Structure 1
Amino acid sequence: MSAQALRQARELLLKEYRGVLSTHSKSMPGFPFGSVVPYCLDAQGNPLILISRIAQHTHNLQKDPKCSLLVGEREAEDVQAVGRLTVLAEARRLQDEAQIEAASQRYYRYFPDSANYHRAHDFDFWVLEPVRHRYIGGFGAIHWLDQVTLANPFAGTAETGMVEHMNADHAKAIAHYVALAGLPAQVPAQLAGVDSEGMHLRIGQAVYWLPFEKPCNTPLEVRQALVSLAHAQAWPTVGQVEA
């Protein structure tokens, strides 16, 4: 199993925020049913989706939770020459109130509009628990991977505190990150999430993941990385992330 492939597959899952969810059709047995869904990663690093109870893919998952999520590099000119990842998973609807609350806090930061329709229009959170991954990094770079996801050590109050602090007090630093990374600057960016390997910025309706120079295992290390980036003249070369 290639450590580089594991890192690239996980980074692709972090960099993107929407994919094609394929389920087993209930109304057309034997046929796969594809639909586009936004996602973010939960505390365990698994894709978290918010879907309507009346949607076809929801009815499909209720009958058969086996599914897949296809994620590809956005705006690729040649889709066969860039990375794409298929997450083969078992979907599970969240029912525990504490889990739903944690999912809500995280998901709303990535997709603020979802707060308006989650409770009011019978939407539920589902987590896609991976069984296996198929990663293609370009022509001939094909891998079956078993363990791609990585738990977020900051999920919960630590991450929420860091995000709220940065958005409230360090807008200038966030704008500097946007400029360093060459991201769109038409509207102010907001920090949406922090994990051990990087951070997510939300700019309008789009989400972007930016890697740290090296993995961070404590809030202090995250703070040091954010301060260093706020004074950097170029985005640092990223070291090899541990698989």
Structure 2
Amino acid sequence: MTQDDMPRTVRTLLRELDRASLATILPAEPAGWPYASLVLVAVDHDLSPILLLSDMAEHTKAIKADGRVSLLFDGTGGLDQPLTGPRATVLGRAERIADDRLKARFLARHPDAALYAGFKDFAFYRLTVDRAHLVGGFGKIRWIEAAELVPPQAEGLAEAEAAIVEHMNADHADAIQLYATKLIGRAGDGWTMTGIDPEGIDLRRGGEVARLAFDEPLRAAGEARKALVALVGRARALP
């Protein structure tokens, strides 16, 4: 992994994982102590993490007092030597949001959350990323500023995403299954698409998530169909 690869490694980690460890600063006794908790995460097209939090949770009380937080994305699962694997800590400020598109992106990533997302004591939060600290393995360590983490942008894709995902799941479930089994090497039936961004697509099957990257980033929403068809062709060409 070169220095130039590190920002993309961080973006890939954030998009591959559907959960993270959230660290906040407790406002009440024991005030001032760091507090870590497990949260479900979705990541927007601009790499902003999206959270759904309960008002009763300690981390939510902490965020209301001080929005500075960090999220640890751990990509070392399943490795014989975890310390050789990548993990990234993202620092930023969390704020409550009322954005229907971000809510929809989170719920597509975590469909079971729809059971409680509408409760009065739950709300969505968006993290504005300030910087990230990547540990990519032994000796592969670097602070990365937010400007370096900005992903490629595809004109109109964020607005078209919900329709693309709905169409793929309704009319091309066989293609999604090929993506998962042939191109990613995942087992089982029933994979669905939960998101598409300029750098790839997100899939889910029950409690399992998967990420499939495009060969080249999309530059506009109109390029999505061509890229998805090309992935099907590649999958069908495999034994």
TM-score between the two structures when normalised by the length of structure 2: 0.90
Are the counterparts in 1 of residues 23 and 37 from structure 2 also a CA contact under 8 Å? yes
Task: Decide whether aligned partners of structure 1 residues 103 and 35 sit closer, same or farther in structure 2, where only a CA change above 3 A counts.
Answer: same
**1:145 equivalenced with 2:148 (yes/no):** no
Q: 1:99-144 deviations in whole A, cap 9, x for unaligned?
A: 1x11221111111111110112511111111111101110000111
2:3 paired residue number: 2
2:126 paired residue number: 127
Equivalent AA in structure 1 for residue 176 of structure 2: I
Q: 1:32, CA displacement in angstroms? A: 0.7
Secondary structure, aligned partner of 1:80: helix
Q: 1:201, CA displacement in angstroms? A: 0.4
Are the counterparts in 2 of residues 117 and 123 from structure 1 also a CA contact under 8 Å? yes
1:201 paired residue number: 203
**1:218 equivalenced with 2:182 (yes/no):** no
**1:65 equivalenced with 2:64 (yes/no):** no
Are the counterparts in 2 of residues 24 and 32 from structure 1 also a CA contact under 8 Å? yes
Task: Decide whether aligned partners of structure 1 residues 151 and 56 sit closer, same or farther in structure 2, where only a CA change above 3 A counts.
Answer: farther
2:55 paired residue number: 53
1:179 paired residue number: 181
Q: 1:34, CA displacement in angstroms? A: 0.3
Task: Decide whether aligned partners of structure 1 residues 126 and 156 sit closer, same or farther in structure 2, where only a CA change above 3 A counts.
Answer: same
State how far apart, in whole Å, the 2-side matches of 1:149 and 1:188 are. 32
Counting only pairs closer than 5 Å after superposition, residues 230-241 of structure 1 correspond to structure 2 as 230-233=232-235
Task: Decide whether aligned partners of structure 1 residues 29 and 196 sit closer, same or farther in structure 2, where only a CA change above 3 A counts.
Answer: same
Are the counterparts in 1 of residues 198 and 217 from structure 2 also a CA contact under 8 Å? yes
Are the counterparts in 2 of residues 46 and 149 from structure 1 also a CA contact under 8 Å? no
State how far apart, in whole Å, the 2-side matches of 1:149 and 1:171 are. 31
| Alignment gaps of 5+ in structure 2 | none
Equivalent AA in structure 2 for residue 93 of structure 1: R
2:116 paired residue number: 117
Are the counterparts in 1 of residues 152 and 199 from structure 2 also a CA contact under 8 Å? no
How many residues end up aligned between the 2 structures? 231
Q: 1:151, CA displacement in angstroms? A: 6.5
| Alignment gaps of 5+ in structure 1 | 237-243
1:240 paired residue number: none
Task: Decide whether aligned partners of structure 1 residues 131 and 79 sit closer, same or farther in structure 2, where only a CA change above 3 A counts.
Answer: same
